[in-house]
Amino acid sequence: MGITQLLFWILTILTLGSALMVIFSKNPVHSILWLIVTFFSISGHYVLLNAQFLAIVNIIVYAGAIMVLFLFVVMLMNLNMPAAPLKKKWLKFAGVLSGGSLMLVLIAALKDTESMRREVLMQTGDIGLINSLGMVLFKDYILPFEISSVLFLSAMVGAVVIGKKT
């Protein structure tokens, strides 16, 4: 077993363990900290796949900016107050719409995985390089890219609705 395979298994165990801790932590702040560990270990997987740009962007955007935003939202919410029953049907519709958008993004991202998997295993091609990533993102995956932007917008609106005092 080579050093790369050993590193892969260590990162995989760290990713799965920290993801389970996100789910099973009672304290929401601890869950967010475990999610940051998960993002760092996923970035390690990106480095192993020769996608350094994705690794750095994952650390900067997700482990940095979005996790700080989540942390502030959790700290601003009054978690000791009993939750009021959800009476607005449009919020349920927005949740279904967001989940459907996420499903469309996942299906579109997984449609060409077999050819990319062969290229990665054979260590040919330039999948992780910035130039080819931009070309594929804005040519082949423009619709999932735009759908994910709507999904992020709805997540921000959801955070504002949750944080808003009634």
Contact of 116 with 127, CB cutoff 8 Å = yes
- Its pTM stands at 0.55
Domain identity same for 51 and 126: no
DSSP alpha helix (H) spans, 82-141: 89-110, 113-121, 130-139
Residue 50 pLDDT: 79
The CATH number linked to 52 is 1.20.120.1200
Do 40 and 90 lie in one domain? The reply is no
| C-alpha distance from residue 6 to each of 9, 117, 118, 153 (Å) | 5, 20, 21, 39
My answer on whether 116 and 152 are in the same domain is: yes
What is d(CA 11, CA 4) in angstroms, rounded to the nearest whole number?
10
Mean pLDDT of the chain: 81
> Which residue among 55, 76, 97 closes a domain?
76
Over residues 64-106, the pLDDT tens digits come to 888 778 777 777 776 666 655 656 777 788 888 888 888 888 8
Q: How many domains does the chain have?
A: 2
Domain span including residue 49: 1-76
Higher pLDDT, 35 or 88: 35
For residues 70 and 101, membership in a common domain is answered with: no
